[in-house]
Amino acid sequence: MGYVKTIRKKIGNDPLFMPCVAAIIYKDKKILLQKRTDFKLWGLHGGSMELGETFLDTLTREVKEETNLTPIDISVFNVYAGKDFVLHYPNNDVSYLVIQSFIITEVKGDMKAQKSELSELKWFKLNEIPWDKLVPQDKKIIEDFLQTKN
């Protein structure tokens, strides 16, 4: 059982600080997104840290778990927190996210979606990103990333 699930058993749905990562996987002017099963929305890859992990450890583990890909070329992008990064889950859990985001431009492995947390993986051209169907916090990260591409 992971750290967040252990804490949730003790505090229920109460607000929780959640250090986590977000991966912008970008290649050939396309971004890889996942369709989440909890929100039924598209989003970036990532998740919360486990005890003893670094942000880089979390990034590598989460990307591998969700996509079956191993990040090769990784750069730090930005840190996000604050009132716009409070996530209200469908099960009524509330998390105050502290997100270390990364850009990944090279991966290895055969892409395969993790079925327990996501229903689909898809590469989107930058002009085809489904803006109205994105997790709001990920939307902000992607918008900031695209500002670096102009």
121 touches 32 (CB < 8 A): yes
**Is 50 marked active-site?**
no
Element (H, E) at 4: helix 3-11
Report how far apart, in Å, the C-alpha atoms of 40 and of each of 70, 94, 118 are.
25, 18, 9
Amino acid (one-letter) located at 19: P
**Active-site option among 50, 106, 120, 128:** 120
Catalytic center residues: 120
